[in-house]
Amino acid sequence: MNTETLHLHLDTDQNLVAREVPSQRVLEISLQAPGSAAQTNRVPLNLALVLDRSGSMSGEKLEYVKRAAEHVLDLLHEQDMAAVVAYDDEINLLSPSVAVTGEQRSQLKRLISTLRPGGSTNLSGGWLAGCQEAAAAAARVSSTGMLSRCLLLTDGLANVGITDLEALAVHARELSRRGVSTSTFGVGEGFNEHLLEAISNQGGGSFYYIETPSEIPALFEREFKELAAVTAREIEIVLEFPANVSLQVLGGWVSEFSQGRLSISLGSMYANKSQQIFIKVLTPPAAAATDLKISARITGMDEAGLPFEARAELAFQYTGLVSAEAAPKKREVLERFAQVDLAETANEALKLERQGKREQANKMLQQSIRANAPHIAASQAAEYQAISEKMQDGMTEADRKSSHYQAYNQKRQR
């Protein structure tokens, strides 16, 4: 087992906590993926391209989607697998998963070129069909080094098949556990950004907002390049802590709690990528205790498919309330935390605004701006203030999409 594949470090805004009353602290988990040991070869990719061809995709949208899908195929090697699914209200398996040889690549591109716009949007049917193909291909190949991902693109609302956000998120989480992750691409103004983010968050992938169709090829290529550079995958952090400690994970990461144990699934990380996970910690009062320890263990697989593990520990020291409140806090940790905390709140406020709860949304975001203002730049506070004012006045779909994507990228540090 490789014990030095991925760097793990724990930090906090302040190590002292009060004996007399609960104390809220910030726990920062810092990760850094290793560089690639392979000079020429990369992890084999097993992709399912799931493409919306509903009626709203007519014109340049569908043409750019075709171009993007064909470009991804050009970037794949013979060691890679690819399936192509097109969907409107019906599901069309253009090709099952095949090895991307020269002949198969040409055939896949010919099939993609025949796509024409159709009817409504059975997003769940198309997505699940693509994931099924990727899972079947992975089982046939039985390669521990292969990375399987579904790339789901849509410009509209899921209005046929499974349409509930929570149900689709559960499917995404289960598929990710079975080894098939999902990245989502929303085009234009007609899709539900919170739905696509939930699928990508729970599915261990990334979410992309595509404002104009001309951006589609570049964002498909960005996703491919990140996948091709993955050096750590199936990453899971397990925290162990006293059962009476309360933890809240920020950032939308997949997390599960049990008595004194928290597991966080991170999916994959590309070479040299740094990532911080922030957790709000509420420590209980303890008259007799001297310290409170939180231990972390991270596991996953490296680019060769070999398991790795790393461990770290952090201890909070109990002291009197006056001493705990007077002790200085780490400015750098609070600055990084504030970026994620404010973005997380903005995301939740945007959900309320979409429901018509403008006043509640504005109040929520204003409170977060005030709380985090000491730790963020004035220009950033002004950006979120502008979002808050738009919430109060009523947002356009373009406002919702761009504000959500800004918050998503900020909280995920993308």
Q: Distance (Å, rounded) from C-alpha 351 to C-alpha 413? A: 20
pTM of the model: 0.93
**14 and 64 share a domain?**
no
pLDDT at 1: 43
Amino acid at position 12, single letter: T
Mean pLDDT computed over 63-71: 92
Mean pLDDT computed over 361-372: 97
Q: Is the pLDDT of residue 124 over 90?
A: yes
Q: Distance (Å, rounded) from C-alpha 339 to C-alpha 283? A: 23
**214 and 106 share a domain?**
yes
Residues near 146 by beta carbon (within 8 Å), at least 6 away in sequence? 43, 44, 45, 46, 81, 138
Q: Distance (Å, rounded) from C-alpha 362 to C-alpha 262? A: 32
Residue 301: give its domain's CATH number.
2.60.40.740
Collect contacts of 238-242 with beta carbons under 8 A, ≥24 apart: 238/262, 238/263, 238/264, 238/296, 238/297, 238/298, 238/299, 239/263, 239/264, 239/279, 239/294, 239/295, 239/296, 240/294, 240/295, 240/296, 240/297, 241/292, 241/293, 241/294, 241/295, 242/284, 242/292, 242/293
Predicted confidence (pLDDT) per residue in 36-54, tens digit: 876 557 889 999 999 999 9
pLDDT at 144: 59
3-state secondary structure at position 318: strand
**Contact indicator for 242, 265 with CB cutoff of 8 Å:** no
pLDDT at 317: 97
**240 and 337 share a domain?**
no
**287 and 405 share a domain?**
no
Domain membership of residue 1 (yes or no) is no
**104 and 28 share a domain?**
no
Mean pLDDT computed over 284-294: 92
Q: Is the pLDDT of residue 4 over 60?
A: no
Q: Distance (Å, rounded) from C-alpha 96 to C-alpha 82? A: 8
Percent of the chain with pLDDT over 70: 98
- Give the end of a domain, one of 168, 197, 228: 228
The tally of domains found in the chain comes to 3
| Longest CA–CA separation in the chain, Å | 73
**287 and 312 share a domain?**
yes
Domain membership of residue 356 (yes or no) is yes
Is 2 or 107 the better-scoring residue by pLDDT?
A: 107
Q: Residue 89, class by beta-carbon neighbours within 10 Å (0-12 exposed, 13-18 middle, 19+ buried)?
A: middle
Q: Is the pLDDT of residue 183 over 70?
A: yes
pLDDT tier at 121, thresholds 50, 70, 90? confident
- Give the end of a domain, one of 179, 201, 228: 228
**84 and 174 share a domain?**
yes
Residue 99: give its domain's CATH number.
3.40.50.410
pLDDT at 39: 54
Q: Is the pLDDT of residue 3 over 60?
A: no
At residue 189, φ and ψ (nearest 5 deg) are -120, 0
Domain membership of residue 124 (yes or no) is yes
Predicted confidence (pLDDT) per residue in 87-103, tens digit: 999 999 999 999 999 89
**224 and 242 share a domain?**
no
**376 and 271 share a domain?**
no
Percent of the chain with pLDDT over 90: 84
**167 and 309 share a domain?**
no
The closest alpha carbon to 298, from 206, 203, 232, belongs to: 232
Tell me the residue ranges of DSSP E strands in 126-242: 147-154, 180-187, 207-210, 230-240
**73 and 219 share a domain?**
yes
At residue 346, φ and ψ (nearest 5 deg) are -60, -40
Domain membership of residue 191 (yes or no) is yes
3-state secondary structure at position 30: strand
Of 150-164, 244-258, 262-276, 372-386, give the lowest mean pLDDT range.
150-164
pLDDT at 40: 59
Domain membership of residue 27 (yes or no) is yes
Domain membership of residue 2 (yes or no) is no
Is 97 or 1 the better-scoring residue by pLDDT?
A: 97
Domain membership of residue 248 (yes or no) is yes
Q: Distance (Å, rounded) from C-alpha 414 to C-alpha 401? A: 16
The pLDDT mean for the chain works out to: 93
Task: Give the DSSP H/E element, type plus range, for residue 262.
Answer: strand 261-270
pLDDT tier at 336, thresholds 50, 70, 90? very high
- 318, 322, 327, 333: CA torsion to nearest 10: 70
- Domain residues for the domain of 344 are 331-412
The closest alpha carbon to 266, from 233, 309, 243, 288, belongs to: 233
Residue 367: C-alpha distances to residues 280, 362, 364 (Å): 17, 9, 5
**17 and 119 share a domain?**
no
pLDDT tier at 15, thresholds 50, 70, 90? very high
Q: For the chain, what is the radius of gyration of the CA atoms?
A: 23
- Give the end of a domain, one of 302, 326, 350: 326
3-state secondary structure 325-384: HHCCCCHHHHHHHHHHHHHHHHHHHHHHHHCCCHHHHHHHHHHHHHHHHHHCCHHHHHHH
The closest alpha carbon to 47, from 69, 24, 67, belongs to: 69
Helices (H), 266-330: 321-326
